[in-house]
Every structure is written in C-alpha cells, then in structure tokens.
Amino acid sequence: MTTSDHSVLTTKDIVIVDLVADTKEDATRQLAQKLVDDGRVTDLEGFLEDVAAREAQMNTGLPGGIGIPHARSSFVVVPSVAIGTTSVGVPFGALDGPANLIFLIAAPDGANDEHLHILAALARKLVHDDFKQSLRDAKTPSDVAKIITKEVQK
C-alpha cells in the first residue's frame, strides 16, 4: 500500500490514464481500488456499495463525456477524487454517449457537504472545454493530478 499526500484531492497515485473498462461498475471499481491502495478508502466492497446506492438514485453521466460517480461513505478516510481518462469511453448514462473523463468522488460520511463543494468546484471547471481537453490530452497520471490540484483545489 502506498500513501500519497492526503491534503490534496488528487495525486498521481489515484489517477488512471488510458483506463480500460466496459461498464461504469468496472471503471468505478478500478478507481476505487486506487483509493484503497492509497489508504484513502478502508473497505473496497463497502465503498462500492455506497457508490452503487448513489448511482441507483440517478445516473452520474453528464453531457460532454463526463462520468462523476460519487458517495459519502464511512469507508472514506479523506476527501478524494480518483480520475480515469479513456479514449474508448464508458457508459455512465448520459444522453449524448459514453464518458471519457471519469471522476470518482469519495467523501467521508461525517464530511457534512464537503463532497458537494468538491462536486461544485469540479462542475464549475467542467463547463470549460479547454479544461476538459487539457485532461483528455494529459499523458501521465502526474499531469492529470497537477491540473486538478491547480484548477479545482485552489
């Protein structure tokens, strides 16, 4: 198990560039495993159940190739955003097609509305095509993490 700097939302250790997944469940599992490996989530299956329960309420696919699975969970140690980029795309339920940018937002259960603040900050950036394109163009997990830290977690 590695442990990155938990004071930042995203590090290279919780990013997958060129993610390969056929389903949103598979993509979410791969990203959640990164959170477990980094010590940000304590129980993979428990956290995935919380994410699935949230996903059952409403699809988390957004127009423009975005997937934002998220949950507040007792298995989350620190607010985090695991990110996957994919050229193939993963169906997250958006009307305009699959997601090629996937943001798994994990917030501790007692975090009040912290995950909503993360979602709001991310959503404000995702309306900008240049921001989305910079993430799609990023070649390494480190590049993706730097963009998120600079643009979302100011």
> Which residues are marked as active site?
70
16: tokens are 């997958």
Q: For residue 27, how many C-alpha atoms fall within 13 Å in the half-sphere facing its CB?
A: 33
Distance CA 91, CA 79 (A): 25
- SS3 label, residue 39: coil
List the one residue out of 72, 122, 63 whose CA is nearest residue 93: 63
